[in-house]
Each structure stands twice: as C-alpha cells, then as structure tokens.
Amino acid sequence: MKASFEKPSMPIIFREYPELEKKLAWISLGTFPTQIHPLNRLGYDNLWIKRDDLSSAVYGGNKIRKLEFILAEAKRRRTSQLITFGGIGTNHGLATAIFCNQLDIACTLLLFWQPVTIHVQQNLRLIKKYKAKLIYKKTLWKTVIGYYLLERITHPRAYFIFAGGSNPTGTIGYVNAVFELRDQIKRGEMPEPSMIICPLGSGGTIGGLSLGVQLAGLNSKVIGVRVSEAYLGPFPACTPQTVKTLMHKTYKLLRKKSRTMPSISIKAPQILQDYLGDGYGFPTEEGSNAYHIAKDNEDIKLDPTYTAKTFAAVLDYCQGQRMNSEPILYWHTFNSVDMSQQAASVDCRNLPKPLQKFFRQDPVNI
C-alpha cells in the first residue's frame, strides 16, 4: 500500500458539510494528509502509525490541526494578542508561539513547573526565539487562576486558548482528521483500524478523533492514554467526562454552523489510566523502553511527556492481542522536525530570570 502526498487543500469536512466553509474560519498551516504506514519491525503485523509528527515542515505534531482553526478565528476577530498556558516544556505553547509569530499576533504563555528534561530546555529556548511573552506561575493551580481570572481582567480583548489548543474550535481539527483517515482507508493506504490509540492530555485530540469516528461512519474504537492528572484538586481535568463534555461542545458548534450535520449520540472514549507514572512530565521506565524501541527499530522520535507513555501502552496492547490480527493505529502526535540548531542559537540568559534556573540543573533522562 503506497501513501499519497497531496498539496495542501481545504479541510475535508468542508467538502462533507459545505456550510462550514463559509461559517468556520480556517487558515492553512500544515501539509495534509499526513502519511500512514505499518510499523513492521516491532514483531507485529497489524500495527500502523499516523504520522502527524510530519504535519508541518516548520513544526509538526498534533497542534497544527487545531491551530489552523484557532488562529484563523483569532484573525477573524482581529485580535492582536493571544493568551494560553502549559508546562514549561509545552509543545502547544511552542507551536502557538511559532505560528503567532508568522501571523503577527502577540503570544503570551503562562507556565507551570514540570520535570526538566532536555526537551523542556530546548522548548524554552525555542519559545523565546519565537518572541512569546513568558510568565512563570510555578504551580498548575496558580497558572489556571491566572488564565481564568487575572489575565482576563488585565487583557479583556485578548483571545484565550485552553491548554493544548483543546477548545471546541481547535477540536474540529481532529474531527476533520478522521475524514482524512477515512479517505486514506478508501484509497487502500491501510485497512480500517479496529483501534485508534492516542495520548490524552487536554483532550482535544482524542475528543476530535472520537467525534470524527462517529461522524465519518468508521467502526474504529478510540482509546486515549492518560498522560496528565485526572483531577486538579476537586475539579476533573482529564477524565472520560471532561472529554465527553468537550465533544458535546464541539458537536454543538458544528451543528450550529451546518444544518446538515447528522444527529448522533455522543459516546465517551475509553481511557487507559495506568501509564502516567509519578505525574505530568515525569518519565517512566515503560516510556523509556518504548522510546528506545521506537527509535532503534523504526526511527520514530517520541517524547517523555506524551508519546513515550502512549507508545508503551500501544506495545502492551499489541502484546496482549498478539493472537488478534485486527489493525491497530497509533496516532503519533509529536513534532519530529529537528529544531536543535535553532534552540542552540538562543542564550538561556535571555529568558525571564525565574526560568533561567532550569538551565542550571542536570536534565532528567528518559
């Protein structure tokens, strides 16, 4: 089965529901469809990968699909400032900074602590390179308070994006991704997967995939691997219900924009709970093993926060289902563009002082 590479085009969901093209803002930031191919050097004949790590030659990963809708909406609103949040090594924050810089939108990132790895240090340098304003809030709780309260008082006209780009507008990017997958299946690039496995952090990727599967008419089951804490104090943050709520909001937005959107009953995805380890951003032994297996056998790059833990779950699932030949699709959400030289060009002493201390300690190894 040969993968196809097409020129950037309008979202497939616009073709399915033409009203959306007029009513949803969208801007092309990536190159789609992303490649699908089997991972046949791991001892399994039924494991496939969807290469969203190659979604853009500038900076790949799952954030691009979301930002195509989010930043277009920000431009439509004529906003001059965008505010979002994440850990100090946030991939979402870096992707947002890069493309805000391209589109001349001021980007502010509120940051909370996570374990310092080489990847975290590189992302901090790169975020600085792309001119985002960095505000270190130390804890996740203080970051959330700043995002939902303080910054909105100070900057009432700014465009606010939830962590990971996981608002209903951004989630549409992954609803559209399933229509892309459906077309690739029709072209024979892979058989329809029985399972689609992806990371679960802020919920936008799995929420969009789960909603997209229902709308696109696939029979695939979506499974999320939880890589973030389920609760923030008493508040649910990464649970089946939070994902289902996001799906409902996204579906409501789509139905509002298109009268031909079919009526469906939202189904919450299955979540694997046992791969988080000590918490968000903390490497795990299983993740480290998965990291080296993917790198050594398939030359696939993983990160310790999201994809290494997820791929550990994928390998366990494949091992447990060894007698089952039904296709399994791992949806790879990391950026594989090598940005190490760009990062090396940034002097960490130019970062805000509270963040400079993270370069005076040895990074955690994966």
In whole angstroms, how far apart are CA 146 and each of 80, 83, 155, 236, 320? Answer: 19, 10, 11, 18, 44
Per-residue 3-state assignment (H helix, E strand, C coil) for 41-69:
CCCCCCEEEEEHHHCCCCCCCCHHHHHHH
Encode the chain (366 residues) as per-residue pLDDT tens digits: 333 334 457 999 999 999 999 999 999 999 999 999 999 999 999 999 999 999 999 999 999 999 999 999 999 999 999 999 999 999 999 999 999 999 999 999 999 999 999 999 999 999 999 999 999 999 999 999 999 999 999 999 999 999 999 999 999 999 999 999 999 999 999 999 999 999 999 999 999 999 999 999 999 999 999 999 999 878 899 999 999 999 999 999 999 999 999 999 998 899 999 999 999 999 999 999 999 999 999 999 999 999 999 999 999 999 988 768 899 999 999 999 999 999 999 999 999 999 999 999 889 877
Note the pLDDT of residue 8: 52
State pTM to two decimals.
Answer: 0.95
In whole angstroms, how far apart are CA 281 and each of 75, 237, 277, 308? Answer: 32, 16, 9, 11
Note the pLDDT of residue 267: 87
The answer to whether residues 208 and 254 touch, using CB atoms and an 8 Å cutoff, is no
Note the pLDDT of residue 366: 74
Note the pLDDT of residue 171: 98
Note the pLDDT of residue 1: 38
Q: Which structural domains are found in the chain, ordered by start?
A: 12-62+168-332 (3.40.50.1100), 65-165 (3.40.50.1100)
Provide the pairing of β-strand 231-232 with 47-51.
Answer: unpaired
- The token pair at 219 is 């029979």
Note the pLDDT of residue 130: 98
Residue with tokens 């209903």: 168
